[in-house]
Structure 1
Amino acid sequence: MDIPHPGQPVRGSQSGNPIMAMFDLLGRRWSMGVLWTLARQGPSTFRALQDACESVSPGVLNTRLKELRAAGFIAHGEGGYRVTPLGQQVFEALQPISEVSRIWAAQLRETGETETP
């Protein structure tokens, strides 16, 4: 499985800074959405996770699940896919960014800058 590894060149860092390796992995299409959904909703089967993620294709979901498992952020077992303690730490670390994103969205709404060009 080809996932970013700390200490090896990754997108945005030739030295493989650990946070850049994590951002590389989480920045892949649907990676954060899958982790976020599992952390908020609890264990899920592939089909239920696909439904919860709405527009993710089965192929992309399968790839992201494999990558997140290889990274140690999720596991698969009885009851389906679930976040690991490490995955839960990642989810909790993202909570402050989630709060800032809501503030940012509100500010954009107030200034009328939410429309895309």
Structure 2
Amino acid sequence: MSARDNTAVIQLYTLLEARYALRVIWALSDGHPQTFRLLQDSVGGVTPNTLNTRLKELRAARLVDHTGDGYRLTSQGADLARRLSEVQPFASKWAHQQARAAAVPLSARGPMN
């Protein structure tokens, strides 16, 4: 990976690491515009101030836009949401393995490397 590519990945991860950023993208990933209030309910637990800050950041990054109907993902945002949806099968498999591992007593797991 080139230094430029590495920088781009770091910039994107920094944006997405902000609290509730991924939840906003996920909430808008169905393609339907949402008003601020509906988006706040969809994201869950976010204060109006924090949601407003995330929306400003995501709009500046051209991942989210505001239309007369509400907030929606841009084409870049929708592309990102599609790529993030690929994490779901991994997450399901991972959670299943975590649950199975938690059910096995530590003494029966064998030595850790």
When normalised by structure 2's length, the TM-score is: 0.82
CA displacement, residues 48-80 of structure 1 (integer Å, 9 cap, x when unaligned):
000111101111000000000000001001110
Residues 1:41 and 1:53: Cα distance change in structure 2 (over 3 Å): farther
* 2:98 corresponds to which of 84, 104, 108: 108
RMSD, aligned α-carbons: 1.7
After TM superposition, list the pairs within 5 Å mapping 1:46-85 onto structure 2.
46-85=36-75
Gaps (5+ residues) in structure 2? 104-113
The AA in structure 1 aligned to 2:96 is A
Q: Evaluate the alpha carbon distance shift between residue 109 and residue 74 of structure 1 in structure 2; reply closer, same or farther with a 3 A threshold.
A: same
Which residue of 38, 43, 46 maps to 2:33? Answer: 43
Q: In the alignment, which residue of structure 1 is the partner of 2:22?
A: 32
Stretches of 4+ aligned residues off by more than 4 angstroms = none
- Tell me the SS of whatever aligns to 2:86: helix
Query: Comparing both chains, which one has the higher relative contact order based on Cα–Cα distances under 8 Å and sequence gaps of 6 or more?
Result: 2
Who wins on radius of gyration, i.e. which is larger? 2
Identity of aligned residues (%): 36
Moved more, 41-50 or 75-84: 41-50
* Number of aligned residues: 100
Instruction: Name whichever structure is richer in helix by fraction.
Output: 2
- Using the size of structure 1 for normalisation, the TM-score is 0.79
